[in-house]
Structure 1
């Protein structure tokens, strides 16, 4: 299991083949801010912000982080089984 890396929302590969991480905390804050902006129009920015912060909370689970990295090619086999 990978434990010495930041939690990520997803990985994207650019045109050169290099992988880029989208930090999970940054992702949650960004989605929350956007959601709050949309919901402000009808007086529910606070609820939308909270929902945005929670929408991918399960991705902090180490098993999910392992899945994201394995399914996107960013996984070190020698890190398997480590805490």
Structure 2
């Protein structure tokens, strides 16, 4: 990720064509707040807090950030969007794997 680019937890189309993003750090802190409150009755608020903070740490990976930007359409205007997957070939590969005798 380049400097100054936010890490995304969620992306959805908003009003008037403007994308609504949920920044990952903010998302983790909000979930941690909720899980702290929710686990307090079990005397596990510290573990609840950590569980909330850590539940989506994998979203910091560049691969996930590229994925969420490309599949959501957030960066769909970029022809060479990172993480873009050519999906049409998958059915062919699956068919050849299941039925190798039918391959050309």
TM range (shorter): 0.7 to 0.9
Structure 1 consecutive aligned stretches of length 4 or more whose deviation exceeds 3 Å: 77-80
Ranked by relative contact order (alpha carbons within 8 Å, sequence separation 6 or more), the top structure is 1
The RMSD of aligned alpha carbons is 1.9
Structure 1: gaps (5+ residues): none
The one-character-per-residue Cα deviations of 1:1-45 (angstroms, maximum 9, x if unpaired) are x53421010101124332111000000000010000010111000
Contact 1:28 1:52 in 2 (8 A): yes
TM-score normalised per structure 2: 0.68
Structure 2: gaps (5+ residues): 83-104
In 1, the alpha carbon distance for the partners of 2:65 and 2:25 equals 13
Q: Specify the structure having the higher radius of gyration (Cα).
A: 2
